[in-house]
Structure 1
Amino acid sequence: MSAHRTFSVQILALAAAWGIAPLVARADECLLKNSVPSITTTGSASAEVEPNIATITLGAVTERPTASEAASENARAAQAIVAEIKAQGVEARDVRTLAVTLSPVYDETLDANGRLIKRKLRGYSARNDLSIRVRQMAKAGALARQLIDKGANSFGGVVFEYESREEKFDALRTAAVRDALRKATSYVNGLGLKLGRVLEISTPSPHAFAPAAMAKSVQSDPASAIPIEPGVETLQTDVQVSWELAQ
């Protein structure tokens, strides 16, 4: 065993006792990579996916002269919204309360310089915000319209998701490694060399780009549904691989 290898083994044993073995192992990999002829290439892979889940955020806001009136009427409005959500077949696991608040509302008078000179209590504002995950995208727009008709007067927007996210990224990682291998092979073939063992694999976090194009409209009834367009999202992952060069 070489002196360098013996030293590395001793360091790793000591690091294991200290709980920092991963850091030292990484350093040892870098030493190995720098000590032999090598080639490093970056592989990329991407795919477009159309979201098939919509998470709608909306709620009811009620302002009344007293805190009790505001809270009571807001509770009734929220109950009507939740009842409609259940009536439309949305599962309980897909409905979540985001916030329930009650706060005073003031009328303010400012002077010519914008300084507050008078503040008078006008009443109280009660608010109940919900998020609803809609797994049938075609129904999202119609459901949003129905909930507004039932008393939802605050609309926070829509977030799109898609099923099997990790499985899609797993496939992209495999494709990215193949891309890195293809590039490395094209370089060494012209030099009469071969790829040896893999010395290092570096994988930055995969990422998704904002919708790049509009897909079909999911509104089911143009007269009543709120148009919701999921668009197309681009998933991308990269990998950097280093190989030892062999004759």
Structure 2
Amino acid sequence: MTRILAAALSSALLLASASAETLKDTLPHISVTGEASEEALPDRAILHLDIVADRLTATEAVTENERKTRSLSDGLVRQGVPIDDIRVVGVTLQSVATEEAAPRGAHGKHVSRGFRARSELSVTVNSLDEAASLLSRAIDAGSNDLRGVEFVVSDERTRLERLRIAAVKDAEQRARNYVEAVGAKLGRIIEIDHQEAVSATEANGRTEPLASASGVAFLRLRPGVRRLTARVSATWALSR
């Protein structure tokens, strides 16, 4: 049944596209792009953390990495992070080797130093202040590396939906201004397409090291403002 519905939807989209192209070939028309945008300050964060374990054997490296990952996850849960917001998004295991010095003109010899197991965690936090505290605690609890902090606008989808409607109205007003200047009128709408863009005025935001009253160091996260933009391309038939 799912395949039948998917095939039917695909056919409907193809027919709609073909119909729009046919109408544009046979009717006078105008195509206009409308746009609407606004700035939004992120209010959530996704922490990208790495946990690394180096051991002499592959089994020992994997075992230690699993232990550290589980310990860090349990610690985050105890601090109030829902377990569903903590995800292991990648796991790697690789040999670690160094190259011994060799006489001039000779090739150095690679010497195995053991194995390195790495887990990549993604932790979603619903408050920037909470994210800063959790980030510092995660590093203290065993996270070896911070790959980055991704800042998120929690209601971004709702905002983009609203902007899309505003972009349609902008396109319609532009089209109406153009056709009325030549004594025509807008007829039926033939085709409409949309796209969204999200950019940050400060791409990575900033972090500032601070110290709490207890002497525990933590980071203050200062994300850059994000600009949300919706663009709509619409085509109307012309009428007299």
Q: TM-score, normalised by structure 1?
A: 0.79
Aligned to 2:123: 132
Cα deviation code 1:69-91 (max 9, x no counterpart) = 43444344323312221121000
Give aligned-pair identity as a percent. Answer: 35
- In 2, the alpha carbon distance for the partners of 1:114 and 1:230 equals 52
Please give the per-residue CA displacement for 1:2-21, whole angstroms capped at 9, x wherever unaligned: xxxxxxxxxxxxxx99x856
The CA deviation at 1:44 is 0.8
- 1:77 alignment partner in structure 2: 68
What residue number does 1:107 align with? Answer: 98
- Matched with 2:227 is 234
Counterpart-to-counterpart distance in 1, 2:204 and 2:70: 34
- Alpha carbons of structure 1 residues 239 and 86: separation in structure 2 relative to 1, 3 Å: same
SS of the residue corresponding to residue 222 of structure 2 reads coil
Contact kept, 8 Å, 2:129 with 2:220, in 1: the verdict is: no
* Paired residue type of 2:162: A
CA contact (8 A) 1:169 1:237 kept: yes
Decide which of 208, 229, 237 is 2:198's aligned counterpart. Answer: 208
Q: 1:28 to 1:103 in 2, by over 3 A?
A: closer
Q: In terms of Rg, which structure is larger?
A: 1
Give TM-score, length-normalised by structure 2: 0.81
Q: What is residue 159 of structure 2 aligned with on the other side? A: 168
CA contact 2:87–2:121 (8 Å) conserved in 1: yes
The match for 2:172 is: 181
Counting matched residue pairs gives: 228
Residues 21-57 of structure 1, C-alpha deviations (whole Å, 9 max, x = no match): 6435423322322323222221111121222221111
Deviation at 1:214, TM superposition (A): 8.4
CA RMSD of aligned residues (A): 3.0
What is the CA–CA distance in structure 1 between the aligned matches of 2:98 and 2:206, rounded to whole Å? 43
For 1:39 and 1:114, how far apart are their aligned partners in 2? 73
The answer to whether the 8 Å contact 1:215/1:229 transfers is no
Q: Is the 8 A contact 2:184 2:239 kept in 1?
A: yes
> For structure 1, which segment, 81-90 or 159-168, has the greater mean C-alpha deviation from structure 2 after superposition?
159-168
Question: What CA distance in whole angstroms lies between the structure 2 residues aligned with 1:69 and 1:26?
Answer: 58
Q: Cα 1:20–1:217, aligned 2, differ >3 Å: closer, same or farther?
A: closer
1:68/1:216 CA distance change after superposition, 3 Å: closer
Contact 1:33 1:200 in 2 (8 A): no
The amino acid that maps onto 1:206 is: E
- Conserved 8 A contact 2:45-2:128: yes
Q: Are 1:107 and 1:119, in contact at CA under 8 Å, matched by a contact in 2? A: yes
Q: Tell me, in whole angstroms, the C-alpha distance in 2 between the residues paired with 1:118 and 1:215.
A: 41
CA contact 2:92–2:119 (8 Å) conserved in 1: yes
Shift in CA distance, 115/187, structure 1 to aligned 2, threshold 3 Å: farther
Contact 2:102/2:109 (8 A) holds in 1: no
Which of the residues 185, 190, 205 maps onto 1:199? 190
2:148 aligned to which of 142, 145, 157: 157
Q: Quick one: distance in 2 between partners of 1:149 and 1:183?
A: 57
Hey, what's the Cα distance between the residues in 2 that align with 1:55 and 1:123?
Answer: 32
2:81 corresponds to 1:93: no
Amino acid in structure 1 at the alignment position of 2:160: F
CA shift at 1:141, angstroms? 1.4
Aligned position for 2:214:
none
The Cα shift of 1:109 comes to: 3.2
Structure 2 counterpart SS, 1:27: helix
Structure 1 range deviating more: 151-160 or 116-125: 116-125
Q: 1:122 aligns with which of 95, 110, 113?
A: 113
